[in-house]
Amino acid sequence: MGTFGEYGDPRLVAVYDTVNPFAAGTAFYIRLAAVLSASSIIDIGCGTGLLTCELARRGYRMTGVDPSGAMLDVARHRPGGERVRWIEGDASQLDEADADLAIMTGHVAQAIADDQSWHATLVATRAALRPGGRVAFESRNPGPRPWAAWTPQASRRRIDDAAHGPIEVWCQLVEVHDERVRFECHYRFASAGEELVSADELRFRTQPELTQSLTDAGFAVEHVFGDWDREPVAAGSRELIFVAVRG
């Protein structure tokens, strides 16, 4: 059994798309790009580029930024990848100033755990947008304490990867402390008889904290939705989905 950061080990990167396929959030961001009549979009924390390349194929001018070289390697070789400008790094590496929309999908906002890095990300994002440009991202709502279900019993599932065969996947909560949730994801590859473990930490910010962070970075919050159907936030909402405009 080996323990890794999820976005560093090539075997876990290779199965990332099978574990995290297109989902309801994907349709939300595709629709948002259309509603805003965006031309140029920056995908911050683009990972393996599933959505980045889908948007590129739909004709948007795309930039994908991610600090994980292993994730970007998958992204570059995906159909449509040749149309995307890829940057290995974080938002501080962005060199444009006129994008229409910046997105952070797949709960990237929670992976940026400390407040200084989150503020720096939002400030750099703002600098890369044209006046009136939007930033959109989601963060899991801490209200319903979603980590309570991150147990082997509640989270165990089996997926079938085209290249690696059946994989059993489950989560194990490690610690909840100061809005930070540490947990492990276990991947048991049946054909190789091997189990890999990724150790992760996510930050759970509240709606007022995220709103304040956007204001501090020079954005005005336009919408906060509680789910991908654009419902308002309620106590039990799973997501906090923000759309904010560059002031």
Interface with ligand SAM by CB under 6 A: which residues? 7, 20, 44-47, 50-51, 66-68, 71, 90-91, 105-108, 111-112, 117, 121
Q: Tell whether the torsion through CA atoms of 127, 132, 137 and 139 is positive or negative.
A: positive
CB of residue 193 vs ligand SAM: minimum separation in angstroms? 27
Helix 115-128 and helix 207-216, axial crossing angle in degrees, nearest 10: 50
Q: Give the Cβ contact number of residue 32 at 10 Å.
A: 19
Task: Say how far apart CA 71 and CA 91 lie, in whole Å.
Answer: 16
Nearer to ligand SAM, 105 or 211 (CB): 105
Smallest gap from residue 24 Cβ to ligand SAM (A):
12
Nearer to ligand SAM, 118 or 170 (CB): 118
Angle at 226 between CA 138 and CA 207, to 5 degrees: 65
What residues contact residue 235 under an 8 Å CB cut-off, 6+ apart?
A: 143, 144
Residue 46 or 167: the one with the smaller Cβ distance to ligand SAM is 46
Shortest spacing between CB 72 and ligand SAM, in angstroms:
8
Residue closer to ligand SAM by CB (options 111, 217) is: 111
Residues 6+ apart with CB under 8 A from 209: none
Q: Which is nearer to ligand SAM, 40 or 198 (CB)?
A: 198
